Each structure stands twice: as structure tokens, then as C-alpha cells.
Amino acid sequence: MRRTLARELNNLIERGRDRQLRLAVTGLSRAGKTAFLTSLVYQLRHAGLEARLDLLPAARDGRLLGAQRVAQKDLGVPRFPYDQAMAALEATPPRWPEPTRGISELRLHIRYRPERNGLFKGLGSDSATLTLDLFDYPGEWLLDLPLLEHDYLSWSRRQQATLSPERRALAKDWLEAVDRLDPAADADEAELAAIAERYAEGLRSAREEGFSDLQPGRFLLPGDLEGAPVLQFFPLPGLDEDDRRRLEALPEQSIYQTLARRFDHYRQHVVKPFYREHFRRFDRQIVLVDVLGALNAGPERFEDLSRALATLMQSFDYGQRSLLSRLFSPRIDRLAIAATKADHVTPEQHANLVALLEALLAEPIKDLRFADVPLSALSLASIRATQVQAVKHQGKHETVLRGMTLKGEETLMFPGEVPPRLPRHDFWARQGFAFQAFRPLSRDARGEGLPHIRMDAALDWLIGDKLT
């Protein structure tokens, strides 16, 4: 009894104060971060009006009074372009918002009426405010965490090992140029800059071809470092651990030493500050994964995504001995992983989609559970662009999707079945997956509100406990 009393008293005091939560959204490019954040802000701003949020108890019970954007505290971080994103979705024809390319932030004040049950019913103020700081940053930046464990030589060797024949073909220009370099020769600034650009170009082509496991992450999404000399390095192929002594004795101005210095600078002045100044301060995090996109891209890309995610998720491994805990002592107390764009498959496939996401992240999930980080896996569509329709096919009722292609053609399709576990050879040989990009629904087609799938479930996991 006394414990209940103490808890309720504490809750009451807590509510009296304005509370704050820092929620971060990440995922690799095109995972759906911009769409997610746009929808999240929309749904909270229109809670109690046209937003449908039945899986979020505060909204379902009519206690969520709405949200307002307010000035953010950190003036050094760009503001998330919500108005532009909404304007794109409201345009005729509607467009997907332009993706953000670096870190951005948006602060919301959420007004809600606290639950009134228990001993202190009737006490306290009528409404409370939760300050929600939202951050959006590229998942590619998290691919850089392992760089902190490497020095230039070991990183060069590691990068060489990741070059599959197809990746080699995509990096052909860079490989040709770098093969001619003698690590002991004097560095020529212009030459190194040109080769670094070819390296970045190779990474970008690989990204366009659907590869994900690419380093360094800032080469793909430089944010405000575009063109800066700190990004002018690349791994040297063909080096061996046995060469270490000889390489480390090379003069300062040698190519090897110059590249090693830049690599070190990148680790110290680009990778570390992001973790120290931003990542460490997030309270909660959602990682978005375009599982369906990878399924559509075939076995090699799918495996590559799996590797990239394993690297990315190291940033959430709070095991005591993990690199992250040793360096930054982060404090995320809740994590969600979500398979996005669930409106690309028919509803009966959603359970398989979550199962596949969990299979894809099986190892990192094990580590997270072990480190006792509360985790929820779900599938969602931030902005639902299709409608489900029943059709009769060969005398049977089937569920199909109706949507508009990006070119504006109405289509009716059954995209395929999602395997509930990691697809094996026979899946790729037999079926594959027919995935099609859809245009967002026009206002006529969607009616009031911004339709979604399970944004309310995601919100409940991420902020629901702060709205009680």
C-alpha cells in the first residue's frame, strides 16, 4: 500500500513538471525516415481531429489534445522541413517528400490530459505538456562506428575483404587509379582528392545498385561536410599486416602516412563528435528498415543489407564490453525496429514481414535482449499509398492492392508472399518479389487525414508511457 502511495505521489509530481523526451529516427537511405517523421508530426498535430490513432491509448481515450511545433533548443542543427514535406504530399499530383540528407530536428509540445485513476483522482492540473524533440539522421552514419576500432591499415584490409566481384566492377575507376599508387611516394594533394572522389563515386554507384554495407558512411551522405578535405581519403588495397612496420616508418609526406592521418582525423573529428554530441543524448530510437525493397532487389543485395544492419545495430549494443558503452555510455531506454512501407503487401503478409525483420536482425536482437534494452519489432506504413481490394480469381476470393504508379497509372496487383524467415535459394529461384513504387494517395482518394498502417502502435511504444 505504502509503495503504491509513493508511486502515485511520484507520478503526480512528475506530471506537474513539464517533461521532455528525445526521440531519434534512423535507417539507411530510402528506408523511409522522411515519410515517417512527416507522418509522425502530422498524426500528433491532428490527434483528436482527423488523425486515426486507435492503438495509442491517450488518443483513443480522447486525452491527447494536440501538438504544436516550437523553436528547438539546438540552433546548430537544421530544422526538419515538415511544411515542405506536407506541401509535396498535398500537391497535385501528390509527390513523396524530398528526403533529408543529414541530421535534422523538430521540437513538439504535446498537450494531453493525464489519466485520472488511482488515489489522487481529481488532484493536479487538467493538462500536461510533453516536450518531444525529434531527430532524424542517416543510418549510414552508424556504419562508421566500427571505424573507431580500426587503424588505417586494418581498415584498408577490411575494406578489401568486402569487395565482391560486383562491387569491384562498380569501383573499377577507383581501383585502376589506386593500383598505380605507391604508398611510399610523396603525396600529391590534387591526385589524392581525385582518387578519393572516384572512391566516393564507387560507393555511390554501389548504393544506387542497392548495396548497403558501405564505408565510410559520410562519403554517401556527407551532410555539411560536402567537399571537405576530411573526406579525402580511401583504403589502400593490397596491404598486409606484415607490412605494418615498414609502412609506419614511412615519412610524414608519404601517401600512406597522409591517408592514415586523414583517416584518423575522420574518426576523431567526424565519427566521435556525432556519438558524443547527438547520439549519446537520445532517449529513444526507432530504426527503419526497407525489408521489402531488399527482398525485391534479390539475394546478393538482401545479404548485403543484413551485413549492413548488423554493423548499424552495433550502435545499440549496450553490452558492458561493447565499443559503444566503453566510449560513450549512451542511455537509450527503448528501441523500436520497423519494417517500413507495409502498404506494399496485402495485410495478411504483415505478420510474415515482422518475422522476416526479426530473422534479418536475429543476432543484434539477441545482443539487445542480453543487454536488457527493451525492444519492439513491428511493420508499418508511415503514409499508406495503396488500398486493399477483394477480387475473385478463378472462383476464389483474393486480396489485392490498388494504387497509382509513380507515372500515374492505376494498377491492381498482388505483389507476392513475404517469407517468414530468411529466404533460401528456392525462394529466389521460384518466386522473387514484384515490388512497385506507388504515388501517395491524393486527397480525393484518401479523404481527411494522412492514412497510415500502425503509426499509432509505433507511437504507443515510443512515447505512450509518457502520456499516462
Site residues, ligand GDP (CB under 6 A)? 27, 29-35, 96, 99-100, 340-341, 343-344, 381-383, 385, 437-438
Q: How many CA atoms lie within 13 A of 338 on its CB side?
A: 29
Q: Which residues pair with 132 in a beta bridge?
A: 21, 108
Least distance to ligand GDP, CB of residue 209, Å: 16
Q: How many CB atoms lie within 10 A of CB 267?
A: 19
CB-nearer residue toward ligand GDP: 112 or 461: 461
CB-nearer residue toward ligand GDP: 155 or 435: 435
Q: Are 22 and 133 in contact (CB under 8 A)?
A: yes
CB-nearer residue toward ligand GDP: 35 or 255: 35
Torsion sign, CA atoms 120, 125, 127, 131? negative
Least distance to ligand GDP, CB of residue 18, Å: 30
Least distance to ligand GDP, CB of residue 134, Å: 13
Could you give the 3-state DSSP secondary structure of residue 335? strand
CB-nearer residue toward ligand GDP: 145 or 338: 338
Least distance to ligand GDP, CB of residue 439, Å: 8
Among candidate residues 174, 164, 192, the one with its CA nearest the CA of residue 262:
192
CB-nearer residue toward ligand GDP: 32 or 216: 32
Q: Which three cell numbers stand for residue 355?
A: 518475422
Q: Are 230 and 262 in contact (CB under 8 A)?
A: yes
Q: How many CB atoms lie within 10 A of CB 173?
A: 15
Least distance to ligand GDP, CB of residue 359, Å: 22
If phi over 0 gives left and psi between -120 and 50 gives alpha, with beta otherwise, what is residue 311?
A: alpha
CB-nearer residue toward ligand GDP: 200 or 385: 385
Least distance to ligand GDP, CB of residue 233, Å: 25
Q: How many CB atoms lie within 10 A of CB 6?
A: 10
The phi and psi torsions of 458 (rounded to 5 degrees) equal -65, -45
Of all helices (H) and strands (E), which one includes residue 137? strand 128-138
The phi and psi torsions of 262 (rounded to 5 degrees) equal -70, -40
State the Cα–Cα distance between residues 95 and 407, nearest whole angstrom: 11
CB-nearer residue toward ligand GDP: 137 or 316: 137
Q: Which three cell numbers stand for residue 126?
A: 487538467
Among candidate residues 219, 216, 196, the one with its CA nearest the CA of residue 145:
216
State the Cα–Cα distance between residues 158 and 150, nearest whole angstrom: 9
Least distance to ligand GDP, CB of residue 341, Å: 4
Least distance to ligand GDP, CB of residue 93, Å: 13
CB-nearer residue toward ligand GDP: 100 or 156: 100
Q: Are 449 and 54 in contact (CB under 8 A)?
A: no
CB-nearer residue toward ligand GDP: 24 or 178: 24
Least distance to ligand GDP, CB of residue 222, Å: 15
